[in-house]
Amino acid sequence: MFLHERKAPGGVTKLIAVHLYANQGFSNTIESTTGKSEQVFKQIKARVVKAWVYDLVDGKAPGLAKVGYDLELILPDTGDHVIARRSTTQPTSAMVIDYGHQLRMFAGQADAKDESHFTIGYQIDGKSGVIDGWLRDGAIELRPREGKAIEGSKAPKWLLLPEAMPTTAPTLKNQPPTPAAPSPSRSPALY
């Protein structure tokens, strides 16, 4: 989502690489409630934004990343999310499938006013948001503008609640706006 040089406050230039890792898992069980037996289909989603910092020598990035950072994005459908139910007595009946939230990530932008800063635009269910990134001296930091941090975990986790997000994302001065949703003729990538 982002691959660019940034300069730490101490003046050292590094190469920043940011990727999204998305995983899904599925399960199904038979549950009995109020005398009815149903097959219940569940989905688990994991969405992690990973950032790496590489040293630059003669304009090239040698070897492995020196610093890494993982930011787990938590949405209401991250855990055991029921996506469909089917009656075991009528297994051929039509099922309504709940795909959960749609997360779309856009290419990051380097901040023209701050050499240590960059932004990555995203949308959840068509509502826009921004993740800010900073190259620090000896570290990198990612922080969404929307939602809140989940305290008490080893790796940073951020709770994003789509219903509390603005319908348009704020833009930085002298930066292009967060990309608009594509035309309805293109199907979005779902994460």
Contact 188, 102 (CB under 8 A): yes
From residue 143, give the alpha-carbon distance in Å to each of 14, 24, 63, 94: 19, 23, 27, 42
> Phi/psi at 37 (nearest 5 deg)?
-105, 130
For residue 60, being part of any structural domain is answered with yes
Nearest residue to 117 (alpha-carbon basis) of 17, 14, 10, 7: 7
pTM of the entire predicted model: 0.74
The pLDDT of residue 130 is 95
For residue 178, being part of any structural domain is answered with no
How many structural domains does the chain have? 1
For residue 137, being part of any structural domain is answered with yes
pLDDT per position as a tens digit, 67-98 = 888 999 988 777 777 888 887 777 676 777 77
